Structure 1
Amino acid sequence: MLSDRTLTGTDLTITVGERVGAGTHWETFDGRTADGDAVAVRSLHGELPEDEYDRFDSLAAQWRNVSGRETVRTLADWGTDPEPWVAVEYAPGELETLASGDSVEIALECDLATRADLLGDVCEAIRNYGRYGSTPYHLRIGPEAVVFRDGPDGPTAVVGDWGISGLVSDPPVTPYTAPEQLDDGNHAGQQTDVYRLGALGYHLLSGSPPFVDADRSLAEAIRNGVGDDPPEVSEDFRRVLSDAMALDPDDRQGGAYQFRRDLIDARPRVSPEERVVSGLPPLDVEDIEKGGDEENVDDVEGSSEEGSDDESEPRSVDDDDSDGEESIDAEETSDPTETSEDVARDTSSTTSWRTAGKYVAIGVVVLVVLIGGFFGTSALGLIGGGGVDPGAATSGTLATVSISGSVVDANGEPIGSSVEVTAERIADADGNTADGPTHTTTTDGGTFTLENVPTGTYEVTAAETDVFAYGMEEVEVGEDETGEVEISPTSATVSGIVVDTNGDEPDATIRLLDENDETVAATTGGRYEFTVDDLEESYTVTAEDDYESVNRLIESFGEQTTIELEEASFTFSGSVTNSDGDPIDGATVTLTNGEVLSAPTAADGGYEIENMPGGDYDLEVSADGYMTVTDSMTVDSDVTWDFELEEIGTIDGTTNASGTPARYELELLQNGEFVRETSSDPDTGEYQIENIAPGEYTLIATRSDQSREVTVQVDSGETTTQDINIDF
């Protein structure tokens, strides 16, 4: 419990106040920094092992790196004392929603198209997150990781958590858990995020979480799949969600980007007047009120000129680039069957929901002015100056250039597959901060060229492949220049299959070792997939169980050839001698473990049993005239064991009654414990007790109600005679 504590994080000192609420993964408290800024302090439910603290720090640091983006909740600070915690920003009125994870329920008050756009924002947040860090997946998307707000530019999603809640031991199963997360988190990846986006969409678009009416356990329901549900949504949405929640990750959309494209294709057309956004907490009431000032035309022009690309990004899948590539939204508005209301509806998703109507007229004027300035010509008759030479640049002309480069593998060679490359303009030619535009293209043999992009500074990223994840490269392109950039991977996967001699997947222990033979990652089973960040390191995969250990040097990242394990075999050997140290020829050494393995001793007393499978065995060593030795052992390596057998002794004699041979009942004890019983011959009174280990014994002879007790010493390989007479 963090209430009434002072926390020291990486940068801030935070005083924790009252507990606000709790959900499945997080417990939330209000807090204040030393400067008096309000934050939400969140601690994890469940135990986070200390060996995961470094991973916690790494995920938190990456979260902070992307915190400045509109769809990412800002991480103020974090720490692990007295327990792991994070401190995040929140908008007025949404602290309780953040704590309870009820944002989806609140968003259900919005119209269906708005809910689809909110889900698209979550996709965009995940997509952007993967561009700017070594961990490209979220893996914990659900109601507690998302809050929906009504911002100045309309409803938007704000995403947090970024995988941290998955670090606890045995994270809880929720309706948003992907099937592959039930058994082995090591196989979770890009398609896991797609599944969880689909499950969140199921809730957001149908009104209830998936599997809520299942007649079995939640985990079993998830393994059986969502089927044809949900019936409450349109056929187009149902198809998108069904693909996303497919049991086989390979049957899902390729990533958050593709899921968002399908989502936008399926969303209904709704005019601005039909949009419903009531219930969502406003991002900043003062900003919203200021944005409604109709007289502030200069502000409107500025936002149209400098921020239009940024405003359009959250709602488009591909922003228009200067050579005419069209976004999905643009394709929708070009449909000749669309009405003006349809066009207004698509545009409205990126404008202020409360001021759109006020700025329509102003926007038209500003757009005409911008077009005239861009082309630098009086052909339209709207700008003074007329008759400018078409070949001459004017102050309104935006110079365009090219960006070329390659996407390479860990060896610096261009990859052979097609990969989407994105270049986002972050500064203009004068170094002033710019928001967009964003341009995308696809590599051909690992190389790419973006033509006709404005001059400035760009962040260039490449989409993740099956093997590599890429970081961001920055390139500055001036007039009459071609920007050259090489995008190198920041992490890579090593994956493969282990089988036994029958072709089955064993329960093997599989480890990834670095060049110092230190374990980098490990898993159990027959399949493995490891992610590594140091691509200069040499790695080896080892696999072992009740099998011979196999080491496989990783020559290239990605899918490895199948490792076949042969069942391990061992040798059991040694010697068998008597108590004098003399070898015993013909003794038998027997091992039993389902099947029986045995070997005789040679003249020198030696024995050897080869090709023994590993496991637990019962052991027996026997020889005529010697005591049998029994024991048990576990074989997981070659074993050498020497045995010393004691020769058996014998007790014999006669029993008499008043000097006349008679039958007696005889009982042999050692240390009070029963050893053997017999009876003497009724005619001769003779008896014999064989195969007795050397030692001291008590012999009890009983006839009628009379008995006699004598002590007998038995020596190795000797016969001890003991006569017994009882006078009656």
Structure 2
Amino acid sequence: MIAPVKSGRTLRERYIVTKVIGRGGMGSIYLAEDNRLSGRICAIKEVHQARDLPEQVRAQGRDQFYREASVLAQLDHPNLPKVSDFFTEDERDYLVMDYVPGDDLKSLMDKSRRKSEFLPLEDVLAWAVQISEALEYMHGQDPPVIHRDIKPSNLKLTPNGLIKLVDFGLVKQLVPDEITVTIIQGRGTATYTPLEQYGGDTGHTDARSDLYALSATLYHLLTNQPPLEAKQRFLRPHGLKPPSEINTKIGPELEAAVLWGMALHPDERPDDAASFRQALTSGKPAAPRTSAVPGLAFDSSLDRWLAGAVIALLLTAIIASLN
């Protein structure tokens, strides 16, 4: 892991780093003061590529960073932090965005669990509506923007009650017939990651992949227990415990909506965030559309898709056994 930037250092002759507020395998997240806008506090996400990578790969990664950063800078939604700047300094790429105060939902859930309580259903539902609105906005861009790492720790509740979807580390544009180079190697967090996202850079993700992650997040928030990972569910089809068996306050309509969003095959999930939100709020899941989703390269045959997933899982198991 690379050493973080020291407190007091000024980046881009503008941002004064005050402290590290997050760490990851590819860099740190810093709290910083903007010396051009008095009183403004911002968060700066750092991306550092391994020096032993081939120069061509490093160049591709940097190009991808700038493409994705320019897209993020154009997003403007109340449930998303505003990206205001991006730059490269000393072989590290930086993404500057509004600092979001407040607790993340994982922290709130952990507090409730320590008291042997569940988060209030009405609160979780209200948060879900806000997140789905942010996803509807992102997925409605041209081309769509897919987050790919929705989880409780990436959702912050601000003091004024707004939910903010933070950490764009794995975000990608959904461009039909184009393989996107991911600037941060990874596939999201296993607990919330759908099967189709395990293809690495060639994984065929779309809006429904984010809906799986959101549904798995809601399952966790509603039950205080992480859901069984998609890979394990594939091997154990009936292994996912219905959330109402853990939290008896969960009604059948809410449970049906969450499990709908967590369907293993994307064709069996809601087609879009609006349909999922309708299911959450009305208790009547909308019928999935039959038209194909642009940019998704799955074969229409469920059996063929499952066969591909089996191969991927077997390869993963073989590789793990060799390490």
Q: TM-score, normalised by structure 1?
A: 0.33
Q: Secondary structure at the match of 2:270?
A: coil
Distance 2:45 2:87 in 1: 11
CA contact (8 A) 1:181 1:188 kept: yes
Give the superposition deviation at 1:41: 1.9
1:239 corresponds to 2:242:
no
Q: Secondary structure at the match of 1:41?
A: strand
Indicate the residue corresponding to 1:168 in structure 2: 184
Give the superposition deviation at 1:24: 8.1
Give the superposition deviation at 1:183: 3.0
1:39 corresponds to 2:58:
no
Q: Which has the higher helix share?
A: 2
1:221 pairs, out of 221, 229, 232, with 232
Give the superposition deviation at 1:193: 1.1
Give the superposition deviation at 1:139: 1.9
Indicate the residue corresponding to 2:89 in structure 1: 81
Indicate the residue corresponding to 1:199 in structure 2: 216
The 5 A counterparts of 1:81-480 are 81-82=89-90, 83-92=92-101, 94=102, 97=103, 102=107, 105=110, 111-151=120-160, 155-162=161-168, 164=170, 167-171=183-187, 173-184=189-200, 185-211=202-228, 220-224=231-235, 227-230=240-243, 231=245, 232=247, 233-266=250-283, 466=292, 468=294
Indicate the residue corresponding to 1:54 in structure 2: 63
Give the superposition deviation at 1:244: 0.9
Deviations 1:605-654 (A, max 9, x none): xxxxxxxxxxxxxxxxxxxxxxxxxxxxxxxxxxxxxxxxxxxxxxxxxx
1:2 corresponds to 2:10:
no
Distance of aligned partners of 1:172 and 1:73 in 2 relative to their CA distance in 1, 3 Å threshold? closer
Give the superposition deviation at 1:118: 0.5
CA contact (8 A) 1:228 1:242 kept: no
Give the superposition deviation at 1:23: 6.4
Distance 1:33 1:14 in 2: 5
The one-letter code of the counterpart of 1:180 is E
Structure 2 unmatched ranges of 5 or more: 172-181, 306-310, 312-323
Q: Which has the higher strand share?
A: 1
The one-letter code of the counterpart of 1:79 is F
Distance 1:106 1:42 in 2: 27
Q: How many residues align?
A: 265
Distance 1:25 1:136 in 2: 22
Distance of aligned partners of 1:238 and 1:219 in 2 relative to their CA distance in 1, 3 Å threshold? closer
Give the superposition deviation at 1:121: 0.5
Give the superposition deviation at 1:171: 4.1
Structure 1 unmatched ranges of 5 or more: 212-217, 268-327, 329-418, 420-464, 469-492, 498-503, 506-524, 526-728
Give 1 or 2 for the bigger CA radius of gyration: 1
Give the superposition deviation at 1:180: 1.1
CA contact (8 A) 2:227 2:240 kept: no
CA contact (8 A) 2:119 2:222 kept: no
Distance 2:27 2:163 in 1: 19
The one-letter code of the counterpart of 1:149 is T
Q: TM-score, normalised by structure 2?
A: 0.69
Give the superposition deviation at 1:89: 1.5
Deviations 1:366-400 (A, max 9, x none): xxxxxxxxxxxxxxxxxxxxxxxxxxxxxxxxxxx
CA contact (8 A) 1:103 1:148 kept: no
How many percent of aligned residue pairs carry the same amino acid?
Answer: 20
Distance of aligned partners of 1:64 and 1:89 in 2 relative to their CA distance in 1, 3 Å threshold? same
Distance 1:101 1:46 in 2: 28
